[in-house]
Chain A
Amino acid sequence: KAGVTQTPRYLIKTRGQQVTLSCSPISGHRSVSWYQQTPGQGLQFLFEYFSETQRNKGNFPGRFSGRQFSNSRSEMNVSTLELGDSALYLCASSLAPGSDSPLHFGNGTRLTVT
């Protein structure tokens, strides 16, 4: 069974640009979550989606947005990039929302903003 797939693996963007990251969950998983990982702040929750609906959102500015498609694939978008957005962005999938369904993480997209 294929794991969580995130594309691209690496991205380099310039301040002010926007970026879209993609996540394909494990087959049969319908819940997708996104996390930002930085050396200073550690792992911080961005969003959670289930059945194309955002269930929960972390404390991030409106420049960060996401969506989920009918096949459970998800994208997140960051507009007007800032240097501080440089991070590893991790996607995780689970069968359904709730702590009884463990999260399976992808290997992440490394975003560098110059």
Chain B
Amino acid sequence: GNSVTQMEGPVTLSEEAFLTINCTYTATGYPSLFWYVQYPGEGLQLLLKATKADDKGSNKGFEATYRKETTSFHLEKGSVQVSDSAVYFCALSISGYSTLTFGKGTMLLVSP
């Protein structure tokens, strides 16, 4: 079956620190990969996506590269802000389907 594994949190950083949240996957097809973010009391927002190997998704300073050889899609940001504090979810879907398989989520806490 399909599964996504994320590093457990919380990840606690100071403002302007470098962020990495690890994500690896297993899939029975050729997946598209996503990062979603959830702010307190809200639903999920799509942060970035990549649909094929070596694609790099980017948005709001966040980046992730689809690495087929290591089945990974790690999220990075060069300088985090307090407003980045949220829960981040890595997810995959198989071509032709909208159904997302999510990781457990990683809480990020950024202090001033």
List B59-112 residues whose CB lies under 8 Å from chain A: 89, 93-105
Interface residues of A toward B: which range?
20 to 34
What residues of chain A have their CB less than 8 Å away from a CB belonging to chain B?
A: 4, 31, 33, 35, 42-45, 48, 55-56, 58, 90, 92, 94, 97-108
List residues of chain B with CB under 8 Å of any chain A CB.
31-32, 34, 36, 41-46, 49, 51, 89, 93-105
For A31, list chain B residues within 8 Å (CB): 98
Q: Of the candidates B45, B96, B104, which one forms a contact with A97 in the assembled complex, judged by CB atoms under 8 Å apart?
A: B96
Residues in B neighbouring A55, C-beta threshold 8 A: 97
CB pair A103 B100 closer than 8 Å: yes
A43 to B91, CA, bound (A): 10
**Chain B residue at smallest Cβ distance from A108:** B43
DSSP majority for the A interface? Answer: strand
Q: Which of B43, B44, B105 has the most CB of A within 10 A?
A: B43
With the chains together, A33 CA to B99 CA distance in Å? 8
